[in-house]
Structure 1
Amino acid sequence: MTMRLVSWKRWLGSTLVAGLLGGCSGTQFYGNPEYPRPASQTPLDYFSVNWWASLSPPATLEYGPRETASPAYDPVSRTAIALTRDGYARGVGPDGKVKWLYKTASRFSAGPRVVDGIVYVPGGDGVLYALDAATGDEKWKYVAGEALATVPVVSEGLVLVASESDTLFAVKVTDGQWAWQYRRDPPTGFTVRGASRPLVREGVAYIGFSDGYIVALSADDGGVTWERSLSGSGSEFLDVDSSPVMDANGQLYVTSYKSGIFALEADSGDVVWSTSVPGMTGLLLSGQVLFATGDGRVDAYLAETGRLLWSHPLGERAAFTPVFAKGMLMVPTSGSLLFLEPKTGRSRIAWNPGGGITAPPFVAGRQVFVLSNNGFLYSIDLNGIQG
């Protein structure tokens, strides 16, 4: 297979927009990253691009390509791993060149997880793969039979991954043998695309489902500890698809697409507080602040009480799961990657390398890996926000 690679060092392109206030009212720049462009006229130094690699560029007449799988990184072999819509898993070296390829039978919905040099790959073909992160060699695979849709979680000798059909699978890290599974019946109406990645704490796995329930399961055998309905009655868009997050005091946070954000007692599922803001699908907890993303907005809440601290409007755009790095909140959106001040919600930069960004970036210290919807993988260095 012939691959076109582009590797440019220390590039800061004209796809940056600075000083954007409120709802990102500044001009957006779009372009094909294969072609050089002059440096931005604004003296910005928030980040710089080390290299980019063209992994799965849009095909002729392909409309609105989307890459939904977040990249990952193996620090030992210095290999970035990207899963793309053409069904390939790729390992990319520190020079931006592809080191290895692994072909699967379908596109990917979610990114991989790297632990101890092994990359766990959730296949859209219904197979969970364990590959050597440095070489791409297959260690084992488990045939789940359902399209896998979450980044795998590795905990206490098990790999946990959820499917698009509302099944949570647990297999053994050593050989991929089945350990247990838990399934709920999806609702009869429309659901939101995606699935909830389980959160494992102190032997309990917390996970949401498309029928509007969040469930606490024993990580040992999948037994139910408690379950809680968050979306009320109805049959459409009940999804609890956000990955749950938990604070140091054992308070659990999760979203219902229909009903809003919920804070729950982790040991019982009792509701501590909730909002009435629908359409939220992503959560990030940093200190005492809970960041939420979804349809047309990015919000920040005081985690203890649910008080709204700020809201950043996005108009018609959707925001996906954010990450936090070097003092900046990085929010992938259907239009660009936003760099927000976490205290105020002010947008410092909106960067669109072409096609927008759906997959959450992967943060490895000051280095961040970004997969654009046009199938380009970027390695960028963050300098952060001063002051």
Structure 2
Amino acid sequence: MTMRLVSWKRWLGGAVAAGLLGGCGGVRYYGNPELPRPPSNTPLEYFSVNWWAPLAPPQTLEYGPRETATPAYDAVSRTTVALTRDGFARGVGPDGQVKWKYKTGSRFNAGARVVDGVAYVPGGDGVLYALDAASGEEKWKYVAGEALATVPVVANGLVLVASESDTLFAVKIADGQWAWQYRRDPPTGFTVRGASRPLVREGVAYVGFSDGFVVALSVDDGGVTWERSLSGAGSEFLDVDSSPVMDAAGQLYVASYKSGIFALESESGDLVWNTAVAGMTSLLVSGQVLFAAGDGRVDAYLAETGRLLWSHPLGERAAFAPVFAQGMLLVPTSSSLLFLEPKTGRSRVSWNPGSGITAPPFAAGRQVFVLSNNGYLYSLNMNGIDG
């Protein structure tokens, strides 16, 4: 496998016309580093590229490649675990070289989770794999029989992972044996692709389903603590596929694709507030601010009341799950990776490494790992925002 290492710290792929991204006139634009050219009007150094690895480059006549699995990182072995559309799980070392690879039966819908040196890999082939993050050695596997669609969550000695068919599986971390599962019947109409990753707090797993319900389950046995319908009547696009988030005060936030964002009492599911902005698919909470991303926009809300603080329009572009890194809000979109100021929503940088980015990046301190839709894995060094 060929590999190229980036030896320069700054590069500029070209200028972008004002208004390419809604409300982003004058935004710095970084082009594809795989096609380097000498920098002109050197941009601010918000980040630099350490290395990139071509894991699953587009094949001849392949149309619209899309990578949906966020990378994972093992800090002890300094191994990045990347899952790609060709069905391979790979471990990539700190030099950008592939250390190991493991073949599964199908493309991946979501990324791995690394805990204590073990990578828990949700297979699109319906198998949950436990692999040694440093070597790729298989420790165990659990056959769920349904395409798995969320990053696994490890809690209370269990691995929790949801399928595309609205089933949440709980598997014992020690040996991969089944512990319990919870399933809801999908609606009869159209649904949004994806599934809700459970949030676990104090022995309770909060998770959404495509029928418009959010449910609180006991992690010990899968028993229902409470359930609440968020999307009302109907049969299409009722999905609560966003992963629930919780603030420091214990308030729960969930998004219905149809009915908007909800703040709920975590102990009872009682409504605190609702803002009826449809099309939101992911949430992120930080302090007193709730960030939401989805169809054509990225928003920030005051978490206590739901008041809109700012909205960043994207035109026809879709925004996927945002992450924080060194004071910036990184938002993957169908056209590029946006670097937004969390306080204002102003876009500082737009970077397209090739065919946009669907998988959320993974931040490990100053280092950020990005998997482009072209199947290239990047290691970025973040410099952050002054002040």
Task: Give the TM-score category using the shorter length.
Answer: over 0.9
Q: Aligned partners of 2:366, 2:14: CA distance in 1, in Å?
A: 19
State the distance in 2 between where 1:75 and 1:296 align: 35
Query: Out of 1, 10, 13, which is 1:12 matched to?
Result: 10
- Mapping for residues 1-387 of structure 1, pairs under 5 Å: 3-15=1-13, 23-25=23-25, 33-387=33-387
CA distance in 1, matches of 2:251, 2:363: 25
Shift of 1:32: 5.4
Q: Distance in 2 between matches of 1:329 and 1:28?
A: 15
Kept in 2, the 8 Å contact 1:182–1:222? The answer is yes
Return the offset for 1:37: 2.1
Provide Cα deviations, 1:94-138, integer angstroms capped at 9, x if missing partner: 100100000001000100000000000000000000000000000
| Range with bigger deviation, 31-40 or 61-70 | 31-40
Distance 1:15 1:154, change over 3 A: farther
C-alpha contact (below 8 Å) 1:292/1:298 kept by paired residues: yes
| AA partner of residue 95 (structure 2) | D
- Secondary structure at 1:109 match in 2: coil
Q: Pick which of 145-154 and 16-25 moved more.
A: 16-25
Amino acid across the alignment from 1:6: R
- Whole-Å separation in 1 of the counterparts to 2:312 and 2:184: 35
- What is the CA-CA distance between 1:26 and the residue it aligns to? 5.2
Contact 2:30/2:349, CA 8 A, preserved across alignment: no
Between the aligned partners of 1:22 and 1:355, the Cα distance in structure 2 is 19
Report the Cα offset of residue 325 of structure 1: 1.3
Structure 2: distance between partners of 1:177 and 1:130: 12
Q: Which AA in structure 1 matches 2:261?
A: I
CA distance in 2, matches of 1:23, 1:127: 43
1: distance between equivalents of 2:215 and 2:26? 43
Q: Conserved in 2, the CA contact under 8 Å of 1:17 and 1:350?
A: no
The sequence identity of aligned pairs, in percent, is 81
C-alpha distance 265-33 of structure 1, shift in aligned 2 (>3 A): same
Assess, with a 3 A threshold, how the Cα gap between structure 1 residues 117 and 248 changes in structure 2: closer, same or farther: same
Q: Contact 1:245–1:252 (CA<8 Å) still a contact in 2?
A: yes
* Cα deviation code 1:53-72 (max 9, x no counterpart): 00001111111111000001
Q: What displacement does 1:6 show?
A: 2.0
TM superposition score normalised by structure 1: 0.96
Which amino acid in 2 is paired with 1:264? L
2:12 touches 2:31 (CA, 8 Å); kept in 1?
Answer: no
CA RMSD between the two structures: 1.7
1:261-298 alpha-carbon deviations (Å, 9 max, x no partner): 00000000011000110000010001100000000000
The verdict on how the C-alpha distance between 1:226 and 1:336 changes in structure 2, with shifts beyond 3 A counting, is same
1:143, distance to aligned residue in structure 2 (A): 0.2
Go from structure 1 to structure 2 and tell me whether the alpha carbon gap of 1:324 and 1:16 turns closer, same or farther (over 3 Å shift): farther
Contact 2:260 / 2:280 at 8 angstroms: preserved in 1?
Answer: yes
Q: Write the distance in 1 (CA, Å) between the matches of 2:8 and 2:81.
A: 21
Inter-partner Cα distance in structure 1 for 2:310 and 2:36: 37
* Cα deviation, residue 23, structure 1: 2.5
Q: Return the alpha-carbon distance in structure 2 between the equivalents of residues 102 and 258 of structure 1.
A: 38
CA distance in 1, matches of 2:36, 2:370: 19
Contact 2:27 2:348 in 1 (8 A): no
Q: Which amino acid aligns with 2:368?
A: V
8 Å contact kept, 1:231–1:258: yes
C-alpha contact (below 8 Å) 2:28/2:349 kept by paired residues: no
Residues in 2 aligned to 1:15 and 1:320: alpha-carbon distance in whole angstroms = 23
* Alpha carbons of structure 1 residues 215 and 256: separation in structure 2 relative to 1, 3 Å: same
Q: State how far apart, in whole Å, the 1-side matches of 2:384 and 2:96 are.
A: 23
- Distance in structure 2 (CA, Å) of the matches to 1:213 and 1:270: 13
Residue 23 of structure 1 aligns with an amino acid whose one-letter code is G
What amino acid does structure 2 have at the position aligned with 1:260?
G
Deviation at 1:35, TM superposition (A): 3.2
Which 10-residue stretch deviates more, 34-43 or 332-341?
34-43
Kindly state the Cα deviation for residue 308 of structure 1 after the two structures are TM-superposed.
0.3
Q: 2: distance between equivalents of 1:111 and 1:376?
A: 15
Q: Is the 8 A contact 2:58 2:375 kept in 1?
A: yes
How far does the alpha carbon of each residue in 1:282-339 deviate from its partner, in whole angstroms, 9 at most, with x for none?
1000110000000000000000000000000000000000001111000000010000
Q: Is the 8 A contact 1:211 1:240 kept in 2?
A: yes
Change (3 A) 1:40 1:52: farther
Residues of 1 paired with 2:195 and 2:179: CA distance?
21
